[in-house]
Chain A
């Protein structure tokens, strides 16, 4: 079982560039999440999805967009990269909501210069 797979693992972007962080899960989980982890801080929820076609904002959604066209995939889009988006990004999935175990990807380390 692959679990939750994120790509790429590392990326350097210039200010103003755009990119998509990919996330896919093979566990048929309904819920998927994107978090960012800044140094010395806890994970902050960016966006989440409770099922295909449904997405909602988390705590820090500004500067990001998501889509959920299939159960498996939950890409995160950065349209105009800013230095404040330098962070480690984690995708996660769970069968139901936050009361069930979340499975995390390995993370994407993004640097915006």
Chain B
């Protein structure tokens, strides 16, 4: 299909790891992004990965890319209540546009 797909909801306990999954559409995408949207705010870039990489780690965040399956994941270690937000996966599908998933609402319970 032509949609970037994500599950809509994820709930974890504080201190656990969170894994948010995404399936994208364009095998030629050069960049894949994770954006975070906190309540009442616009999207903010959280991290990104180049298509020639399998993994990227940035402090508590780990991004895994499986190009064969067009699957992207975001792992948040030691999830905190401040991580509660909506997380959007996005791919570049032409030079001037990004295709976004519907967003995964992460709820962190104390």
| Closest chain B residue, CB of each to CB of A38 | B102
Known: A104-B43, A106-B40. A99 touches B102 (CB 8 A): no
Chain A nearest CB from B60 CB (Å) reads 20
Asked if B96 and A97 make an inter-chain contact with CB atoms under 8 angstroms apart, the answer reads yes
A74 CB–B CB distance under 8 Å: no
Nearest Cβ distance between residue B108 and chain A, in whole angstroms? Answer: 21
What total count of A-B pairs have CB within 8 Å?
58
**Contact status A106-B95, CB under 8 Å:** no
Specify which of A43, A45, A58, A105 lies most central, judged by the most chain B CB atoms within 10 Å of its CB.
A43
Q: Determine the interface band of chain B, counting residues with CB < 8 A from chain A.
A: 20 to 34
Residues of A within 8 A of B96 (CB): 31, 48, 50, 56, 97-98
B92 within 8 A of partner (CB): yes
Residues of chain A contacted by B4 (CB below 8 angstroms): 42
> What is the size category of the interface that chain A forms with chain B?
20 to 34
Contact with B along A85-113 (1 / 0, CB 8 A): 00000101000011101111111000000
- B82 CB-CB contact with A under 8 Å: no
State whether the Cβ of B98 lies closer than 8 Å to any Cβ in chain A: yes
At the interface, yes or no: A41 with Cβ under 8 Å from chain B? yes
Known: A41-B102, A42-B103, A43-B88. A102 touches B97 (CB 8 A): no
Answer whether residue A76 sits at the interface, using C-beta atoms and an 8 A cutoff. Answer: no
Give the chain B neighbours of A102 by CB distance below 8 A: 43, 45, 98
Q: B-contacting residues of A (Cβ < 8 Å)? A: 4, 31, 35, 40-43, 45, 48, 50, 56, 58-59, 90, 92, 97-99, 101-107
Given A40-B8, A99-B30, A104-B35, 17 more A-B residue pairs with CB atoms under 8 Å apart are A42-B4, A42-B99, A42-B100, A42-B102, A42-B103, A43-B88, A48-B96, A59-B97, A90-B42, A92-B43, A97-B95, A98-B94, A99-B95, A102-B45, A104-B42, A104-B43, A105-B42
